[in-house]
Structure 1
Amino acid sequence: MADPRIIDITLDEKTILWRSADVAQERRIAIFDLLEENHFAPLRTHPDGYAGPYKVFMRVADGRLVIEVRRTDDSPLEAVILGLASFRRPIRDYFAMFESYQQAIQQATPQQIETVDMARRAIHNEAAELLRNRLEGKIDVDFDTARRLFTLICVLHIRG
C-alpha cells in the first residue's frame, strides 16, 4: 500500500556554515510543518514496489541540490539531483525579504509589516512553483510541501 509522504528529513549540517536564531526557527518550523503534513511521491517505479513512507536527506554538492530518498530502514532508494542555477535569484530574494521582515517586526507599523510579509510570501510561492516544476517527472509534491522544501533549500545556502 502506497504511503507517499516524508516521515523524516535531515539536512547536511556540513553545508550550513552559519545560522541566526531566526533562520534556525524558520528551519524548525518548516521541518515540523513538513512532517505534520506532506505529499512526497517519487515517480520512479522500484523493483520491490516500495511506495513510501520516505526518509529524506538533503545536501548541496558541486552547486547541485541532492535529495537522497531512503526507505524507513534507511536503505537508499534513489537520489534526485537538481541544478541550483535557477534557484539563485529566488534564494537571494527570499533572504532579502526575510531580513526585511525581521527588521519590520522590530520597527514598522502593522500595515508595513503586512506589506513586507505579503511580498515575502509571494517570493516563497513563486519559488515553490519553480521547485515543483523542477521536480516534475521525478517527484510529485504538493504546493505546501514544495514551500517547506524551498525553505530548507534556503537554509542549505546560508553562508557566514
Structure 2
Amino acid sequence: MSEHRLSSVELDAATLPAATAEIEHERRVAIFDLVEKNSFEPAGADGGPYALKLSLLDGRLVFDIAGPEFARAHGLSLNPLNKVVKDYIAICDSYFEALRGTSPSQIEAVDMGRRGLHNEGAELLKARLDGKIAVDHETARRLFTLVTALYRRG
C-alpha cells in the first residue's frame, strides 16, 4: 500500500487572483513546503501518493485530488476562513513591519500572535476537511499557509 501523502500541488492560475512576483514566490514556497512533508489521506482512498490541484470556483476552494485508482474533488466554502485569513495576513504585515525597527520584545509579541492565528487557521481548515481529507496538524499548517497565499492579491 502506498503512502497517504501529496507528491505534487498545482494551482489553477485561471481561477486565482492576479499576483505580484512576491506573492507568486510565497505560493511556490508554500507548495514546496507542503510537498516536502505532509500527511494527506482522502476518505475512501486506498493509498497515494496524490496530486492536488487547487482552484477557486464560485467562492469555494476546490481540492481536485488524483491518485492511484482514485480521483475526487471537494469544494470548501471560503466564508468560514475569511476572518482568520484576513487577520493572519494583517498580523503578518505587522510582523514584517516590526522587523524593520522595533524592539525584540515587540517583535516577539507580534510573532506569538502570528503563530497563534496560524494555528487557529490550521485547526479551522483541518475541521473543514474532516470527513473528506485527513491531515495532521503540520500539514494543516502548511495548507493554511498556501490558502493564505491564494488570498493575497497583487
Specify if TM > 0.5: yes
2:19 maps to what in 1?
Answer: 18
Shift of 1:116: 0.8
Task: Give 3-state SS (helix, strand or coil) of 2:35's partner.
Answer: helix
Task: Give 3-state SS (helix, strand or coil) of 2:100's partner.
Answer: helix
Q: Does 1:5 align with 2:1?
A: no
Shift of 1:20: 5.6
Residues 26 and 18 (structure 1), Cα distance of their counterparts in 2 relative to 1, 3 Å cut: closer
Given the alignment, which residue of 117, 122, 130 partners 2:124? Answer: 130
- Residues 59, 156 of structure 1: 8 Å contact kept: no
Percent sequence identity is 44
- How do residues 3-152 of structure 1 correspond to structure 2 at under 5 angstroms? 3-14=3-14, 15-19=16-20, 21=22, 23-45=23-45, 50-71=46-67, 77-152=71-146
- Residues 27, 150 of structure 2: 8 Å contact kept: no
Q: Distance in 2 between matches of 1:119 and 1:32?
A: 25
**Aligned AA for 2:35?**
L
Shift of 1:25: 4.3
Q: Deviations over 1:104-157 (max 9, x none)?
A: 111212221111111011001001000111111100000111111111111222
Shift of 1:13: 2.1
Shift of 1:24: 4.1
Note the residue ranges of structure 2 that are not aligned, 5 or more in a row.
Answer: none
- Residues 68, 76 of structure 1: 8 Å contact kept: no
Note the residue ranges of structure 1 that are not aligned, 5 or more in a row.
Answer: none
Residues 98 and 20 (structure 1), Cα distance of their counterparts in 2 relative to 1, 3 Å cut: farther
Task: Give 3-state SS (helix, strand or coil) of 1:130's partner.
Answer: helix
Task: Give 3-state SS (helix, strand or coil) of 2:147's partner.
Answer: helix
1:156 maps to what in 2?
Answer: 150
Aligned length: 153
- Structure 1 stretch displaced more, 26-35 or 125-134: 26-35
